[in-house]
Amino acid sequence: MKSMLFEINKKRWLTLFLVALSATIFRLILQAFIPSSGNNPFPPSVIVKAGLLIPSFTIYALITYFLLAVVFVIIQGHLPGTKIKKGLMFGFLFCMMWGIYLFEPLPHVSSTSLTELFAYPIVDGISLVFLGLLLGKFVAIDSRLVGKVYINFNIVPLIAIPVCFLALRVFFYSIVHIYSSFTTNPLGTMIWAVASGIWIGVLYLFLGQGIKIESPIVKSLFFGIIVFGINLFLFNFFITLVFESDIADIIIRTMADIISVTIGVYIYEKVHFLMISAHSK
């Protein structure tokens, strides 16, 4: 990883910054098309009260897109396909992940208008796909494996990720009592958790190919913390710019998801390794 970061430092920092800046400007333009009902579920943040939301949002978006771009550079060299396909795949996978997270059945969702409820996943999703397109065009390189993307769809190890995600979510809902609708809507909350875990599993099946690390535990930590964790952290903490938020709750739910995904990936890789070893005998 050090050599990959050194390579970025030598040749690509400016390109990554310009790509992130372009995606940020694009996202700011789309924000103008999102209607506001004025029915805010939480008190405004200190940033909003100080009139600093727009510059803060701009800086935060720029940092988010820049860090996602760095993650893309680190893993794209080992991903199969043309550079445009790589970028679009990266953007689409995170687009869907953000969309699913935005539809989590939280208590305040009932007071959110349908227009706003769907507008943010659409706008954020389009922005992430646009970021991926730019990364594919200006950052990625064509892979020698330009044919079909190879994915191992063995269902036995794949279910480890959603099962771990659901198990830890239920634990933190019922024991730690993180902010949720689990007590009033347990079925809907659990369905959402399963759907989230499945999509994270899909995300790993595609992007995990770019992580050429032999050790299952190191590979799972790399994906859980770097590929998935950085993205989730930036996604979850965006709300603190706009509303007064329970920082401890956000940290706990973020760490819970990172841990569950890391464990799930480790189980996946360990079982996959054992299955390959069994077939080779």
pLDDT values of the chain reduced to their tens digit, one per residue, 281 residues: 555 554 565 667 999 999 999 999 999 999 988 877 667 778 999 999 999 999 999 999 999 999 999 999 999 999 989 999 999 999 999 999 999 999 999 998 877 778 888 999 999 999 999 999 999 999 999 987 544 444 555 575 578 999 999 999 999 999 999 999 999 999 999 999 999 999 999 999 999 999 989 899 999 999 999 999 999 999 999 999 999 999 999 999 999 999 999 999 999 988 877 777 776 66
Q: How far apart are CA 235 and CA 127, in angstroms?
A: 13
Q: How many CB atoms lie within 10 A of CB 81?
A: 22
Range of the domain at 245: 2-280
Count the residues in the chain.
281
In the structure encoding, which two tokens stand for residue 200, read together? 């994270």
In the structure encoding, which two tokens stand for residue 269, read together? 């890789």
Q: How far apart are CA 192 and CA 195, in angstroms?
A: 5
In the structure encoding, which two tokens stand for residue 229, read together? 């964790």
In the structure encoding, which two tokens stand for residue 210, read together? 């770019």
Q: How far apart are CA 173 and CA 217, in angstroms?
A: 27
Report how many domains make up the chain: 1
pLDDT value of residue 147: 45
pLDDT value of residue 273: 77
Q: How far apart are CA 193 and CA 187, in angstroms?
A: 10
Which residues lie across from 44 on neighbouring strands?
243
